Amino acid sequence: MALASAVGDDLFDAYAGVLARYRRDDSETQAWLALAYARRGYEVGDYDVRPEIEYASRALAGDEPGGLWVLSLAYPLAYLENAVKAGEAFGVDPLLLLALAREESRFDPRAVSGAGAVGLTQKMPATAAMLAAELELEVYDLRDPGDSLLLGAAYLEKMLERFDGNLALALAGYNAGPGNARHWIASFDTLPPDVWLLLKPFDETRRYIVRVVGSYYRYRQLYGVPDGAPDGGG
């Protein structure tokens, strides 16, 4: 029986709060907190993976980051079935969709940004309405994980096609809009994408690209995608 089942959610949260404050920078403590939250979530049917991602990420940043089990908590296969379905529909790697959702919302289907973007893949309502019309999707809910991943995959596929499969540029378009991405390309002309990324003026978008690509690399590393497999597209 997991700790949460034995003592109840309120007491578990209180215990976890004390443990979180105790030796806050200790990697082992953070790793066990991540595992405790993961087990609590699985047992009570709560798929909020934000605590386990947070604590596992802290553990990975410490002096003794732990093994693959800590990595798997930091990069969970949340909503995998929905990601596979959306990826197959639009030729986008499901692991890329998971990396995107991890960085956009930490897999919180109810997430709403300050700008008004909603759901796992953080789509603006107007953009979602445009995509839904193109897909002839009459009924959808941005807070529904399946709908959010489907619309996110549709938009990412558009960006990959628009930027000739270049993942960095596609993510720039996803985050800041294709118009901004085209403007940056024109500004830096023929520079290769890695150099372009270093010189790009919008720090927020640059950090976003690095985070998503980094998460994508971790997902591929963890879940058995062989070296040399295609990036981004299915």
Q: Which residue has the tokens 């540029």?
A: 169
Burial, 123: exposed, middle or buried (Cβ in 10 Å; 0-12, 13-18, 19+)? buried
Distance, CA of 177 to CA of 169 (rounded, Å): 10
Distance, first Cα to last Cα, the chain: 40
Told to judge if 43 belongs to the known catalytic residues of this protein, a careful annotator would answer no
- For residue 26, the SS3 value is coil
Catalytic choice (104, 138, 161, 204):
104
Are the C-beta atoms of residues 97 and 83 closer than 8 Å to each other?
yes
- In 3D space, the residue among 48, 56, 60 whose CA is nearest the CA of residue 4 turns out to be 48
The token pair that represents 51 in the structure block? 């605590």
- In 3D space, the residue among 137, 97, 93, 140 whose CA is nearest the CA of residue 120 turns out to be 97
Catalytically active residues are 104
